[in-house]
Chains A and B, each alone.
Chain A
């Protein structure tokens, strides 16, 4: 229980990677603010899973495109649990639109959610972390902060921007005892694609062999993988780590 007594806010915690992170932080003893925007049922499920671990959580809804909603979200969680020690920026959008078809409004939507939203969430938690003289800000980026996506140019741009947001925040906020880092996940199975169970051992072996062509470690990433890393970065063991980018992709970017 590395995070006993700590308060964490995880954005986009109703689904996928965010859900995995919220659960792992709770396993380590953190009280978790579960943010969501559209997945009401997902947020409730995350809360349920945390309750089953005898953990404490609190659900808060906000549109991270709007500063006033971000400020309200942070204040609500801080008031409820008494401060904020850990922010996990995770809520992000990706569209599947090619460069030539990208409309200005879509650009703004992705840019303001993924990049401006990350910055304004950081800005909003600073006063609480400053007060305690410590804090952990963990940003979920992507391997697409390095490698283009070929499906959404603006998504990649936001991830490229996050890298510099992390580095700038790291040097600026160090004086308050706040560390700022990013995790760059590769492909993560968030349970969206329909994937039937292998019929038999032979088919399972065949599928695993195919996966090794994409992931040297022989499997796709899981939300819990990202959650374990986030929980580690959130712990007291990483006090000398800031402005770092951790690629977490099963080696997939190397192939």
Chain B
């Protein structure tokens, strides 16, 4: 039980990856504070699983881009569940936007949800962790912290800023025994539609751009999250780990392992 008795605070528990992450960490003995915009309605299965395993869970629904709300919430839940040992920022809001036409409201919305929330939570859980002189902060970011999308510029900007938050807090909180890292997740199923672009063909045939041709999934992510949360990762700090099966390594002419199209005729 790698995370026996540890308290994990995760944002956006309603995310598709939430169920897999919760189950994996619950199996390792973690307890949870889960921020859920559906107030737990969309994560009933996960909550039932936790209950069956004797895992403590607290579902909250606060605006993570406000220090006062996050601080008050953490203080409120601490007596029942404890202070945070592992923080997982799992918020990836993608809204199609162009540099030329995006409006200010959308820009601020994406930045606040994807970046400001990470900053505010890092500050507030960072104080709890500093007190204990231990803790792990994991941002689930994206390869678009490096590669432009050609379709959702604010998203990439929010991921670029998160990369530097990881480095900055790794340095600052590192002095208190806290490790901070970012996972830059590459393509998983459904991302071709998420980043449809008129400028970039990055996601055309995207499964074949992964050299092994096996697209990643939530289990791949959960494995790395668990590793970073565990004591095995004690010397990893301020890293941004590209988790994309090698997707970003192509330059222009890909020798993709794409299956050749078979002829319809059947030579005898």
Contact = CB atoms under 8 A, between A and B. Distances in A.
Interface stretch (A48-56, A142-150, A192-200): A142-150
A160 B156 contact: no
Contacts of B145: 160, 164
A161 B167 contact: no
A86 B199 CA distance: 24
A186 to B, nearest CB: 16
Contacts of A161: 115, 157-158, 160-161, 164
Given A104-B66, A160-B160, A99 B100 contact: no
A42 interface: no
A153 B65 CA distance: 16
B199 A160 contact: no
B172 A150 contact: yes
A135 to B, nearest CB: 12
A243 to B, nearest CB: 8
Given A126-B100, A157-B165, A98 B172 contact: yes
B101 to A, nearest CB: 8
Interface string B130-164: 10000000000000110111100100111111111
Given A172-B150, A172-B153, A150 B161 contact: no
Interface in A25-73: 67
Nearest to A145: B164
A113 interface: no
A172 B100 contact: yes
B36 interface: no
Interface stretch (A87-95, A117-125, A202-210, A223-231): A117-125
Contact of B144 (A154, A162, A164): A164
Contacts of A120: 104
Given A98-B172, A99-B122, A173-B100, A107 B116 contact: yes
Contact of B167 (A99, A147, A158, A243): A147
B150 to A, nearest CB: 5
A173 B99 contact: yes
A165 B115 CA distance: 15
Nearest to A112: B108
B23 interface: no
Interface in B180-239: 199-200, 238
Given A144-B164, A153-B119, A168-B99, A100 B127 contact: yes
B148 A167 contact: yes
Given A119-B107, A156-B168, 4 more contacts: A123-B99, A164-B157, A165-B153, A168-B99
Interface of A: 67, 98-100, 102-104, 107, 111, 115-116, 119-120, 122-123, 126, 144-145, 147-150, 153-154, 156-165, 167-173, 243
